[in-house]
Amino acid sequence: MYAGGWHGWAQTIADGVKLFQKEDMIPLGADRVLFLLAPALVLGSIFGSMAGLPLSYDWYFARMDLGVFMILALGSTTTIGVIMSGWASNSKWSLYGAMREAAQVVAYEIPLGLALLVPLFALGSFSLLDVSQAQAGFFGMNWAIFTNPFMVPAFLIFAIAALAETKRAPFDLPEAESELVAGFLTEYSGIRWSFFFMEEYAAMFLMCVLGSFFWFGGFESPATWALVKMGAEDTIFFNLVCFGTLVFKAMVGVFLMIWLRWTLPRVRIDQVM
């Protein structure tokens, strides 16, 4: 509450500066190459998958007809980095955390993909732009979650699997501070430690964006519907509204994930499985 003077607004900046300044420790018995490579692989994978996210109908890094396929494929490689970090650290706590991550991913990536198949079949496209356009209409009336009776259970399965995929409570067993010191993060410090946390929050945002595209209309909202009716769909303002709509929906999802972390206790690994 004190950093920056007003309700601690500068605390996040101070944490970032502190992490840049901290010493980068490597345990003597660690596999040095894998230990250094793991956080880079984790961060590179999640940022690479984010390149497949369109920012609006006209703003995107690359228009991909197999957008969601590429995002899931690249995003899943973050698990390799986590397992690599646990193995390379030469620590029992790190190895336990890495093995838990491997078990969780094997268990939950399959229902995650199967849950996504429901809106994929209903909307008929892997492209995030096409999926959003298929849900155009006034005030969410055409959003996928309202158009098919199978959408609600599919979304609930997707939401639970996304929590496990992103290592969020109550499925944060790979870290499990009360049991494993810090799990696969135990031997990491400084900027490499922050890479793993940047990946975790980026993955949360990514999963929430996918959820908003395939169940809650993507860019579509009352504002975009009104602008289309006025013939303003080719303007910069329209693209800004699309971008803001998508970010707002995704941040609602991120808030709910953080809320769950505040609310629910961590479950045991056998209960997770």
Q: Percentage of the chain surpassing pLDDT 90?
A: 21
Q: Which of 60-64, 97-101, 247-251 has the highest mean pLDDT?
A: 247-251
CB-based contact 215:143 (threshold 8 Å): yes
Q: Dump pLDDT digits (tens) for 117-175.
A: 999 999 988 989 899 888 887 777 888 898 888 999 999 999 999 998 888 878 887 77
pLDDT at 18: 86
From the number of C-beta atoms within 10 Å of its C-beta (0-12, 13-18, 19+), residue 259 rates as exposed
Q: Which amino acid is at 47?
A: F
pLDDT tens-digit readout, 180-209: 777 788 888 888 888 888 888 899 999 999
Q: What is the pLDDT of residue 30?
A: 82
Q: Is the separation of the CB atoms in 168 and 261 below 8 Å?
A: yes
Say if residue 116's pLDDT is above 90.
yes
Residue 212 has a pLDDT of 93
Task: Check whether the bond before 27 is cis (ω within 30° of 0).
Answer: no
Report the C-alpha gap between 34 and 78 in whole angstroms. 14
- Residue 162 pLDDT: 92
DSSP string, 167-193: T-TTS-TTT-HHHHTTGGGTT--HHHH
Instruction: Please state whether 188 falls in left (phi above 0), alpha (psi between -120 and 50) or beta.
Output: beta
pTM equals 0.88
What percent of the chain shows pLDDT beyond 70?
A: 100
CA dihedral 56, 58, 59, 64 (to 10 degrees): 90
With cut-offs at 50, 70 and 90, classify the pLDDT of residue 62. confident
Scanning the structure block, which residue is given the tokens 């996928």?
Answer: 144
* Range of 12-21, 109-118, 166-175 with top mean pLDDT: 109-118
Counts for the chain of helices (H) and strands (E), in that order: 12, 0
- The token pair at 93 is 């706590």
Condensed to tens digits (0 to 9), the pLDDT of residues 231-257 reads 777 788 888 888 899 999 999 999 999
CA dist list (Å): 117 to 113, 158, 196, 258: 6, 10, 29, 26
Spell out where 58-190 has E strands: none
Tokens of 26: 């490597």
φ and ψ of 126, to 5 deg: -90, -15
